[in-house]
Structures are given as structure tokens and as C-alpha cells.
């Protein structure tokens, strides 16, 4: 079977089989309401499933209310369970596997959404809420670990086939890995092994909670993308430690830090004016007008921009790896298969063209039409995530389609 055939053929991922090697990576949808799944959220993901994507990931579901970054963010609890079950069932009916991303924002949580002081590895000033975070105390480790395990068990009971634990982008578990956020002097700080201890404990607890009922992977930072953060060498050691624990079925490789290098992941244009305008209060907007132009660095877009670094991880571990980061061309995808990568994770490319996988397989496209304008992420947390070009095409092809979002 050649690389192209492997892309579009069923494959094992831990205890499950996926229809193909394409994963809709977790990109926050802004379609939850009051912490619950909505019909609009399900319909948005159904387009990807019906368009040929083998595994569709419901983005950033908080394991506890204190871990939210937005007020309407889904919290994985009993109240959310019926909607989660409808989501999973819809993905299955459309021919895809259903995955869910479990996370906790930690120091980056929004106090306006949570009502409590942010919690992080160390005491630091939190830019999201403009206040000091509370450092983890001894009792927080078991409590948060149990919240991840409980959320995982609930998600699998609701019918999800795959669980992704968020260990990237400067959220809580990534904060423990990053020397920028983690200044602890106990067994959870200092060396790479110590800084990785709590994220690894969480992943092992999740595996113990779900057994072999679902596939389990992490979204792992290869690097934070700024001086003083997690380095590639540190990231390689972390990946080896996770592999040694034996709890994972795969790793999805990523990079960047939400507050220090936010565009390291979203390379291309930087919609700075929109990002500032979407801050929740006038005071935060005023602060961000001063701060953001100084700290938000732009990165030129290059197709498959994480691939050179990802190759080092491919050489370092044997676990299946999901390649992410501006992969737009079929030729790059097949090359990644030949180089030993196991899955292709797509975000903006699918938002631009929800049936991209079907079109690639049929031969009607050989690359995504996405231009990295990043307008799809400019209003995250404020309005539903959409591609304005895709919306315009839909409106033009069907006059009855009035989204109200252009």
C-alpha cells in the first residue's frame, strides 16, 4: 500500500479503528452555550465528518469550571453529558470517529468566566484576568488529577472514541512543563522530569479511568517558541518520558504559548486589531493596545511549518505521531506518511474547506484553498469560528444561506 492509499485507508489507533488518517484538530468553536453542547456546534462538526475527516475533535472542553477561558465553554460534567452523547452519535452516523479535547486553562483561566482566582504551577501575574494566580497547593494535585479522570470517564460513557489531553499552548499542563510558568522548587519543578511529573500523572490517571475503551493521545508542545520557555530538547525528553509511561496511543505535535508566542502556531497574518477589540472589558482593551503590539510576534507562513522539528520527534519515539501545522498539500501529506508519521491533523484547512478530505481523495483538489489570513481565529470566544471565504462561497451558491456572520 503506497502513501496515498495509507492516507485514505482505515487504520488502528490504540483500541479503535479510524476510517482514515485525517484528524480534525481541536480549534475552539465558540458554539457552546452555558457550558453545554448546542445543535449549532454539532452541525458544524458534522460537516467535517460528512466531508471525509476520519476523526473529529470537539475542542477545549474544561474538566472543571475553574479551568475555563470563556464563559460559555463546555465543562465536562453530568449536565453536559446528554449533549456530548448527541455529538458522538452524530459523528458516528456521519461516518467519523468522535474525539474530545480535555483541558484546564490554569494560570490562563478567565476569572470573568470562572468567578475564582486563576490556578497555576507558581504565583504569576495572569494577563487574561489581570491578577495574580494562586500556586498549586498540595491538595490541588490530587483534585485536578481526579477531575481529568472523571471527565475522561464521562466522555467515554457518552460515546467518544478518542480523548486528547491538552499538554500544549501554555494551558495548565503545558504550564507545568514550561520553565517560564513553573518556578517550583519541589518535586514538580526544576528538572524536565520533575516539570513533567504532574502532566504524566494526569495522563496515567486518565488511562486508568478509561482502560481500553477509547484511544488516548496528548497534544504536546514540542517547544514554547520563546526564550525562557520549553525548548525542543526539553520537549524531546518529555515525549520520551510519556512514551516510557506506556499510557498513550499517540502524540499530536504542536508548539507555541498562548500569552508569550500565540502566533507561533497560527502562522500567517496577525489580526491584531480584532484580537484587541475582542477583549471583554474596556480596561483590558486599553492594556492590550499597549502590550499586544510589543509581545505578539508575527511568523511567516510556510507549508507544514512544524515538519522540520517534528522529524526530530519521529526519530526519538516509536509512538504514533500526528503531524500538525499548516499542512495543506496532498504531496506533503503523502511525504509525511513516507517519513513515518501516522496521522495528519488539520485545522484551518478544514475550516476553509470542510469536505477537503473527500475532495483530496477524489482528486478534485490537490491542496487546501486556505490562505493563512487567520480571520477564522480573530473572534474566538466572541463569535462562532468561521472562514469568511467559505461563508461567502456558501452564500453565493445558496441564496437561502444567510449566516449573519459576514
- Higher pLDDT, residue 401 or 176: 176
What phi, psi does 120 have (nearest 5°)?
-145, 175
Residue 257's nearest CA partner among 134, 136, 167, 384 is 167
Task: Return the number of other C-beta atoms located less than 10 Å from residue 293's C-beta.
Answer: 11
Query: Would you state the cell numbers that stand for residue 33, as one nine-digit string?
Result: 452555550
How far are the Cα atoms of 62, 275, 382 from residue 71, in angstroms, in the given order?
Answer: 11, 17, 10
- Say which range, 99-108, 340-349, 384-393, has the weakest mean pLDDT: 384-393
Q: Is 171 a catalytic residue?
A: yes
Spell out the residues 6+ positions from residue 398 whose beta carbon is closer than 8 angstroms to its own.
Answer: none
Q: 93 with 153: CB under 8 angstroms?
A: no
Helix/strand/coil (H, E, C) string of 283-342?
Answer: HHHHHHHHHHHHHCCCCCCCCCCCHHHHHHHHHHCCCCEEECCCCCEHHHHHHHHHCCCC
What domains are there in the chain, each with its CATH number? Answer: 3-397 (3.20.20.70)
Is the pLDDT assigned to residue 402 strictly greater than 60? no
Task: Return the number of other C-beta atoms located less than 10 Å from residue 99's C-beta.
Answer: 28
Helix (H) or strand (E) holding 119: strand 119-120
At 401 the pLDDT is 52
**Residues 94-107: tens digit of each pLDDT:** 999 999 999 999 99
Residue 382's nearest CA partner among 23, 98, 156, 112 is 112
Choice among 28, 60, 171, 401 that is catalytic: 171
Is the pLDDT assigned to residue 219 strictly greater than 90? yes
Percent of the chain, pLDDT > 70? 97
Instruction: Read off the DSSP letter of residue 181.
Output: T
Segment 191-219 shows an average pLDDT of 98
- Higher pLDDT, residue 288 or 113: 113
At 400 the pLDDT is 58
Is the pLDDT assigned to residue 364 strictly greater than 70? yes
Spell out the residues 6+ positions from residue 107 whose beta carbon is closer than 8 angstroms to its own.
Answer: 118, 119, 120, 121, 124, 126, 133, 172, 175, 181
Whole-prediction pTM value? 0.94
At 175 the pLDDT is 98
**Residues 277-314: tens digit of each pLDDT:** 777 678 777 877 877 777 778 899 999 999 999 999 99
Dihedral angle computed from the Cα positions of residues 298, 278, 170 and 288, in that order, rounded to the nearest 10 degrees: 70
Residue 365: pLDDT band with limits 50, 70, 90? very high
Q: 20 with 96: CB under 8 angstroms?
A: no
Q: 197 with 242: CB under 8 angstroms?
A: no
Is the pLDDT assigned to residue 399 strictly greater than 80? no
Spell out the residues 6+ positions from residue 257 whose beta carbon is closer than 8 angstroms to its own.
Answer: 169, 170, 174, 178, 180, 221, 224, 225, 226, 229, 264
Give the span between the Cα atoms of 103 and 380, in whole angstroms. 17
Mean pLDDT, rounded, of the chain: 93
Amino acid at each position: 500500500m503506497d502513501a496515498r492509499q495509507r492516507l485514505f485507508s482505515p487504520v488502528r489507533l490504540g483500541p479503535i479503528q479510524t476510517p482514515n488518517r485525517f484528524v480534525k484538530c481541536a480549534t475552539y468553536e465558540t458554539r457552546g452555550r452555558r457550558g453545554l453542547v448546542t445543535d449549532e456546534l454539532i452541525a458544524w462538526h458534522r460537516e467535517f465528518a460528512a466531508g471525509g475527516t476520519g476523526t473529529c475533535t470537539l475542542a477545549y472542553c474544561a474538566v472543571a469550571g475553574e479551568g475555563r477561558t470563556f464563559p460559555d465553554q463546555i465543562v465536562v460534567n453530568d449536565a453536559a453529558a446528554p449533549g456530548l452523547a448527541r455529538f458522538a452519535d452524530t459523528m458516528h452516523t456521519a461516518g467519523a470517529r468522535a474525539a474530545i479535547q480535555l483541558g484546564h486553562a490554569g494560570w490562563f483561566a478567565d476569572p470573568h468566566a470562572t468567578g475564582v482566582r486563576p490556578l497555576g504551577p507558581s504565583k504569576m501575574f495572569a494577563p487574561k484576568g489581570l491578577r495574580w494566580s494562586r500556586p498549586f497547593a498540595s491538595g490541588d494535585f490530587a483534585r485536578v488529577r481526579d477531575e481529568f479522570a472523571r471527565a475522561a470517564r464521562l466522555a467515554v460513557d457518552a460515546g467518544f472514541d478518542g480523548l486528547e489531553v491538552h499538554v500544549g499552548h501554555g494551558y495548565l499542563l503545558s504550564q507545568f512543563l514550561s520553565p517560564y510558568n513553573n518556578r517550583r522548587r519541589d518535586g514538580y519543578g526544576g528538572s524536565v522530569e520533575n516539570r513533567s511529573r504532574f502532566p504524566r500523572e494526569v495522563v496515567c490517571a486518565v488511562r486508568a479511568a478509561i482502560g481500553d475503551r477509547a484511544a488516548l493521545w496528548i497534544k504536546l508542545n514540542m517547544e514554547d517558541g520563546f526564550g525562557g520557555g520549553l525548548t525542543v530538547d526539553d520537549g524531546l525528553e518529555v515525549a520520551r518520558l510519556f512514551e516510557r509511561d506506556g499510557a498513550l496511543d499517540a502524540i499530536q505535535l504542536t508548539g507555541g504559548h498562548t500569552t508569550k508566542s500565540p502566533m507561533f502556531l497560527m502562522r500567517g497574518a496577525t489580526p491584531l486589531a480584532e484580537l484587541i477589540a475582542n477583549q471583554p472589558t474596556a480596561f483590558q482593551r486599553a492594556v492590550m493596545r499597549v502590550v499586544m503590539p510589543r509581545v505578539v510576534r508575527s511568523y511567516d507562513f510556510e507549508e507544514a511549518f512544524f515538519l522540520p522539528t517534528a522529524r526530530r520527534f519521529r526519530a526519538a519515539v516509536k509512538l504514533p505521531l500526528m503531524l500538525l501545522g499548516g499542512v495543506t498539500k496532498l504531496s506533503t501529506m503523502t511525504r509525511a506518511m513516507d517519513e513515518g508519521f501516522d496521522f495528519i491533523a488539520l485545522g484551518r484547512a478544514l475550516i476553509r474547506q470542510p469536505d477537503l478530505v473527500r475532495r483530496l481523495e477524489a482528486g478534485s483538489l490537490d491542496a487546501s484553498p486556505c490562505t493563512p489570513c487567520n480571520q477564522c481565529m480573530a473572534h474566538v470566544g466572541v463569535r462562532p469560528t468561521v472562514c469568511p471565504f467559505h461563508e461567502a462561497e456558501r452564500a453565493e451558491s445558496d441564496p437561502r444561506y444567510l449566516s449573519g456572520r459576514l
